[in-house]
Amino acid sequence: MWKGRFSQDTNEIASRFTQSLDLDWRTVRDDIRGSVAHARMLGRVGLITPDEAAEIESGLIGIARDAESGEFIPKESLEDVHMNVEALLTERTGDAGAKLHTGRSRNDQSNTSVRLALRREILRIWDLMKPMLEVLTNNAGRHSGTAVPGYTHLQQAQIVTMGHFWMAHFQAFFRDARRLASAYESVNLSPLGCGAIAGSTLPIDREFTMRDLGFAGLCENSMDAVASRDHIADFHYFAAMFGVHASRLSEDLIVYFSSEFGWLKLPDAFCTGSSMMPQKKNPDVLEIIRGKSGQFIGGLVDVLTMLKGTPMSFNRDFQEDKRALWRTCDTLAGVLEVITPILREVEVDGRSAAKGFADGFIYATDVAEHLAERGVPFRKSHEITGRIIRWCVENDRTLTSLTDEEWKKLAPQAGDEIASLLSPENSVARRNTAGGTSPAQVRSQIESARKRLESLDAEFAEYKSRFPSMPE
């Protein structure tokens, strides 16, 4: 394509090193769809004849069919998907095909193809993410009153409902879903027609191709359009945060599933055994999810590192933007496909959970706040409660075993009803502040979550409705 300027053919080693077919052949359908829009625009503005535009579009549709069937086998010597498509088109249509590249560069062409492909990937990921979010709200509804120990520093802190636990993870993943929608908006701008760096002297119509490809707007500066990979970084940031949250959820389930905790049960179908120890039931799937989170973080670091040293505007470094991108898309899909059925089948053993706080020390904050309600300054009530816990430890007693006489001696400021407050049901029911763990608050969270989920799904439905189809 550049033989007019050069006196030597490209070295074969250099050709192999610089080829990008392993990265961009995945976008062949998107490259063709972008070229269809470009050909239509060229015909509309008179840069090619209507017959040439029709011939090019027909030829491109045929190439798309051949690519889908596997009959179109790309040549590494042609370097990338774009040149392979153009070469085959020219071979089939002659001079008409050779006119297709009028008014564009591979810089804006490849950026357009990746944006089209990434939009489709984001929609695929949303379709996998939505069921996971729905399962979390369903689990919260089933366990809205199931009391389990809550932890800070991985030490028992206060009793919470398992419904509250599920909704805590829902909130994190829903923020990720919002980031996914924001990433779509970032991707959903058209760079086509920006050319190599400065636009074109030809009377091209960028708004026409923008509409034909279903983009929401134009990249407004041609230099920035071909230099920016913010949209890819935005997607990687979503993936990195999702990976962190998926890893944290996996860690929680792994810990609570262990024999030492033992109040959460994982489905056999998503666990494995040991080649040596017959008793083992290992949470391997969750461990692999936890392990894959590093790949998502690595993808973000990869693209940011690639970008940070590049001068304005386009640089060939950007060819590598797809290496981590496609891996991240596929790994995300794999994680979402497996985590949803695991969550759907997780069981919670409330009785086993209650054994974990049989000493009653988990009610310490309940005692301190009861004293505060009765006028004791909280710092003083905190100190009194701490002394009570120490007395129980030293005398091998549980907090819930204290008699009325012992309560009066240890905490004379307490009311007669204090012993009745120290139960799982009362502890969670009394935490009825907004966002709290009470069953009523959990149900309120679920209702709000389902409304927000419905609204976000409508946003994605709108994105899907504008996604361009391939002409028949």
DSSP E strands: which ranges in 97-244?
147-152, 155-161, 189-190, 217-218
Distance between CA 109 and CA 386 in Å, rounded?
A: 68
Distance between CA 262 and CA 140 in Å, rounded?
A: 20
Helix axes 81-93, 106-142, angle to 10 degrees: 120
Name residue, tokens 């009959």: 71
* SS3 state of residue 107: helix
CB distance 170 to 449 below 8 Å: yes
Q: Alpha carbon of 252 to those of 123, 206, 258: distances in Å?
A: 29, 50, 10
* Sign of the torsion formed by the C-alpha atoms of 329, 330, 334 and 340: positive
Helix axes 321-345, 284-308, angle to 10 degrees: 150
Residue 261 DSSP class: T
Quickly list H helices, 101-159: 106-142
CB distance 110 to 82 below 8 Å: yes
Name residue, tokens 């949209």: 231
With residue 264 as reference, give the H or E element that holds it. Answer: strand 264-265
Per DSSP bridges, beta strands 147-152 and 155-161 are antiparallel
Catalytic residues: 153, 274
Q: Alpha carbon of 173 to those of 1, 134, 246, 333, 438: distances in Å?
A: 47, 11, 8, 15, 21
> Which burial class, exposed, middle or buried, applies to 379 when counting CB atoms under 10 A from its CB (0-12, 13-18, 19+)?
exposed
Show the 3-state SS of 335-394.
Answer: HHHHHHHHHHHCEECHHHHHHCCCCCHHHHHHHHHHHHHCCCCHHHHHHHHHHHHHHHHH
